[in-house]
């Protein structure tokens, strides 16, 4: 049996990974005056570096009874209102959001020792905006949005594939409409933290905090900035 107080327990393959982070300095003087600009500047760097799936973010949700879930989704737009992703309105995440619209988003750009942490409130995007985005999706993804009852239990993969093939036939030669149960979500941030990993765990953390329930991400006056201890 392992002795819980034996230090050698922590000389294992997990604990021995010890990287001294060498991220760039993040000074108040370098920070752009509004979070939209700052996010776009960091995002452009991540794209230039060729980091895979730069727009992947972890969406954390919870039920009213406090059960928490997290999963990746893809950022499809960020504008003055907030951060936009698309999903199934009958999924587990949708059920959570309906119960409790408070959510968190996490961008993990570990390759350059950065993360962005967003805490905010989630609401459905308008049907028009969702339909506009749906039109831009590849046909296969459009059919999949119809075929998948996201988060439901499947008896087999065949069940899903058969539904897909059936729908492919049904929609042959015609434009595929956006399913009712599918669309976008807008996360309106309450706070946005820019985190840069620094040597000896003395990381930089600068956080924009909204001064307005419907802040404009491109207006400096809607935000105050604070430095957090690492």
Smallest gap from Cβ 85 to ligand FMN, in A, equals 5
Q: Which of 131, 113, 155 is nearest to 25 (CA)?
A: 113
Binding segment toward ligand FMN, per CB under 6 A, in 13-21, 84-92, 135-143, 210-218: 84-92
Residue 26 CB neighbour total at 10 angstroms? 21
83, 86, 89, 195: which one binds ligand FMN (CB under 6 A): 86
77 is a contact residue toward ligand FMN (CB under 6 A): no
- Contact between 188 and 215 under an 8 Å Cβ cutoff? The reply is yes
Q: What does the alpha-carbon distance between residue 209 and residue 193 come to, in Å, rounded to a whole number?
A: 9
Q: Which of residues 142-161 bind ligand FMN (CB under 6 A)?
A: 150-151
| Contacts of the segment 45-51: beta carbons below 8 A, 24+ positions apart | 45/112, 46/109, 46/112, 46/114, 49/111, 49/112, 51/109, 51/111, 51/112
Minimum separation from the CB atom of position 162 to ligand FMN (A): 21
User: Which among 7-15, 40-48, 85-93, 166-174 is the span making contact with ligand FMN, rule CB under 6 A?
Assistant: 85-93
- Shortest Å, Cβ 55 to ligand FMN: 9
Taking the complex as a whole, the smallest distance from the CB of residue 19 to ligand FMN amounts, in Å, to: 23
Contacts of 43 (CB under 8 A, 6+ apart): 54, 55
Whether 224 sits among the annotated catalytic residues: the reply is: no
Among 69, 126, 212, 214, binds ligand FMN (CB under 6 A): 69
Task: Please state whether beta strands 114-124 and 102-109 pair in parallel, antiparallel, or not at all (unpaired).
Answer: antiparallel
Residues in the site for ligand FMN, rule: CB under 6 A? 53, 56, 69, 71-74, 85-88, 91-93, 150-151
């Amino acid at each position: 049996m392992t002795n819980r107080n034996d230090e050698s327990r922590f000389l294992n393959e997990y604990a021995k990974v010890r990287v001294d982070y060498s991220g760039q300095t993040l000074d108040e003087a370098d920070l752009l005056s509004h979070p939209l600009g700052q996010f776009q500047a960091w995002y452009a760097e991540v794209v230039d570096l060729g980091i895979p799936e730069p727009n992947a973010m972890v969406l954390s949700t919870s039920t009213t009874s406090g059960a928490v879930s997290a999963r990746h989704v893809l950022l499809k737009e960020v504008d003055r209102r907030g951060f936009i992703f698309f999903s199934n309105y009958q999924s587990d995440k949708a059920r959570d959001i309906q119960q409790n619209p408070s959510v968190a988003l996490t961008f993990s750009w570990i390759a350059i020792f950065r993360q962005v942490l967003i805490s905010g409130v989630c609401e459905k995007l308008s049907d028009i905006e969702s339909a506009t985005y749906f039109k831009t999706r590849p046909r296969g993804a459009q059919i999949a949005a119809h075929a998948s009852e996201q988060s439901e239990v499947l008896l087999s993969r065949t069940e899903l594939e058969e539904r897909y093939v059936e729908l492919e036939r049904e929609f042959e030669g015609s434009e595929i409409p956006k399913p009712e149960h599918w669309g976008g979500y807008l996360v309106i941030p309450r706070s946005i933290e820019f985190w840069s990993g620094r040597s000896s765990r003395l990381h930089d953390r600068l956080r924009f905090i909204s001064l307005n329930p419907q802040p404009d991400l491109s207006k400096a006056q809607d935000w105050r900035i604070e430095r957090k201890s690492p």
